[in-house]
Chain A
Amino acid sequence: GENVEQHPSTLSVQEGDSAVIKCTYSDSASNYFPWYKQELGKGPQLIIDIRSNVGEKKDQRIAVTLNKTAKHFSLHITETQPEDSAVYFCAASMKASGGSYIPTFGRGTSLIVHP
């Protein structure tokens, strides 16, 4: 099955700095890569996603890059703010029977943004 590695497990930055979280995956059949943010006491929530036919996607301060050849993808957050503090999960997915994507998640990165 798919295996997703995520690094670092903890990331501490000063407000205004950039933060980068990196993931690798093992199965070249994976073609959908979502990123989720989980705030304390809540369920994860999708913040950005990318498909395998795209190399980069940006949404305001958040961007994701994908290198299919190397099987790695990254989340970039610029101008970090204290409200960005949360646990971030990457995932790699392929289409299952019935048409939905079943993700395999990384172990998560705890991002702490110091004011």
Chain B
Amino acid sequence: DAGITQSPRHKVTETGTPVTLRCHQTENHRYMYWYRQDPGHGLRLIHYSYGVKDTDKGEVSDGYSVSRSKTEDFLLTLESATSSQTSVYFCAISDPARERNEQFFGPGTRLTVL
């Protein structure tokens, strides 16, 4: 997995609690992304970052915030988790300077909100 780690890999939490997921890369890629994957919905973009402190919303950003204070780290925060946010979350990276525009995905974090 192209130098991408996600932590934690599994988490169970209760409705209303804050949750932060971390993505760490060692590839020095400029772009980082957070997706959620749900049965029947494929991969849906939550937020992405195109540089340190530069972020933008994806199609399902409500209820989520992100921060990127260093090139290598991209944090996803659920301020007050809800059961609808139970999902598998994937981080991805890419870099427009590379010849190929592919995204490299992390191993995923399975989040369960009770």
Contacts and interface: CB of A to CB of B under 8 A. Distances in A.
Interface of A: 1, 6, 9, 32, 34, 41-46, 49, 89, 93, 96-108
Given A89-B43, A107-B41, A108-B42, A100 B50 contact: yes
B52 interface: no
B51 A103 contact: no
Given A43-B90, A44-B105, A96 B43 contact: no
B74 interface: no
Given A102-B45, A106-B42, A49 B96 contact: no
Interface string B82-101: 00000000101011110011
B102 A105 contact: no
B42 A103 contact: no
B48 interface: yes
Nearest to A93: B101
A105 B40 CA distance: 12
Contacts of B62: none
4 nearest interchain CB pairs?
A43-B105, A99-B96, A98-B50, A107-B42
A93 B102 CA distance: 11
B103 interface: yes
Interface string B51-77: 100100001000000000000000000
A98 B48 CA distance: 12
Given A32-B101, A101-B96, 4 more contacts: A9-B40, A102-B45, A106-B42, A108-B42
Nearest to B97: A99
